[in-house]
Amino acid sequence: MNAGPSWALVRKDIMEALRRGGLHIAVANAGRGTFSTILDHPLEEWLAILDLCLTGVFLTVQQSAKVMCDGGSIITISSLNGTQPAAGMGAYCTAKAGVIMLTQVAAMELGDRGIRVSVLCPQSVQTGMTTPGPSAARVDGVLQAPEVARMVLEAMEAERFLILSHPQVHDYMQRKASNAERWLTGMRRLRDRIYGGQG
């Protein structure tokens, strides 16, 4: 995502198009990651992932909210990894955790206009980016995209802030909040069980 002159021109065109038809729903979705430990992660790659996954979502929320009709809805897409770490995915996890906090701030700031802001934290969903092989994200099953879309629509109707594709994620979040040290030990054990002690 380029914040320079080219982005300014694109933003101008987007805002003009939105003004003509009005905007009632916006979905801020961006994701890309690479596997690299913190010690080995190239800075350029770190910045590129945060730029896409976090700054891209920020710009989408910001520019959408400027032209959105009062009473509209904004959905941001975070991830299970916004709530739970994964070894070797420091940049992605950091960006997706940032998306959750950004969405909380947006919900506070835009609520006076009646704009509902929610965050989806999917665990494992079958998409073009889904890769084969062992993954801690798949321990609770893999959902199809239409199933998750239905969950999002139901959550919008209920005006829920946090949308979880897998109910187990709520349990993981509660364990983390109740005893962070014990939870971290459990995460290391899960990593070793899934990946054979690598990472």
Q: Is the residue at 10 inside a domain?
A: yes
For the domain that residue 52 is a member of, what is the CATH number? 3.40.50.720
Split into its structural domains, the chain has a count of 1
Dihedral of CA atoms 156, 161, 165, 171 in degrees, nearest 10, equals -150
CA dist 120 and 177 (Å) reads 19
185 SS3 class: helix
Could you give phi then psi for residue 125, rounded to 5 degrees? -125, 135
Domain span at residue 91? 5-166
Q: What is the pLDDT of residues 103-162, one digit of tens each?
A: 999 999 999 999 999 999 887 655 655 555 555 555 555 657 777 778 878 888 888 898
pTM: 0.77
Active site residue 92: yes
Q: Given 46, 87, 89, 92, which residue is catalytic?
A: 92
